Amino acid sequence: MSRLYSYVVQHDHGFAPNPFWRVCTLANCKPVIRAHAAVGDLIVGTGSADIALAGHLVYWMRIDEIMSFDQYWADPRFARKKPNMRGSMMYRYGDNIYWTGSDGTFQQLNSFHSEDDGGLSVANRELDTETTQKVLIGSKFAYYGKSAPMIPPELGFVVKKGRGHKCRFAYDERMAVEAWLATLPERGYVDEPGRW
């Protein structure tokens, strides 16, 4: 039986999750979800209060593939998800930033998770890589960003308040969330991130 994970997308920049180029990826942040989620699981990200999106659905994705950082880095399908800090916003917030260097440690491309000067952020590398090296990939997703729809009151149980995530839902709760998502007409990348 697939699981449902829910959390607040505190920093909605298009980095984690990264909804661009027709596939949604979660390659950074949320290490506990990335460590434990499996193919077939559903992830729901809700909005934060500081951008007036609390109780709204920022995105959902169904995991259909999981790979390591090195596999993600080397896969030509995800080359456009490597950040280019001189490119468009979609390129600047690329999440394909880690690979194993010749010294055996994870190297970090200049990205949203780097220091301001483009150098390695040890703290972010530890957050992203120490607990898990999994990248979650979903071709079935909807990313609403600034157009995030309000979650119906009867589904308020799905909203996680504060840090961390929720994943203990009864079968009928999971089915109710799935049924609601099926009614939403738009799929893929719908609108730009809330913090753009």
Residue 84 CA to residue 146 CA, distance in Å, equals 23
Q: Which helix (H) or strand (E) element contains residue 36? A: helix 31-36
The verdict on pTM exceeding 0.75 is yes
Query: What does the pLDDT look like over 32-87, one tens digit per residue?
Result: 999 999 999 999 999 998 888 999 999 999 999 999 999 999 999 999 999 999 99
Whole-angstrom distance between the N-terminal and C-terminal Cα of the chain? 37
Q: Radius of gyration (Cα) for the chain, nearest Å? A: 16
The segments of the chain whose pLDDT lies below 70 read none
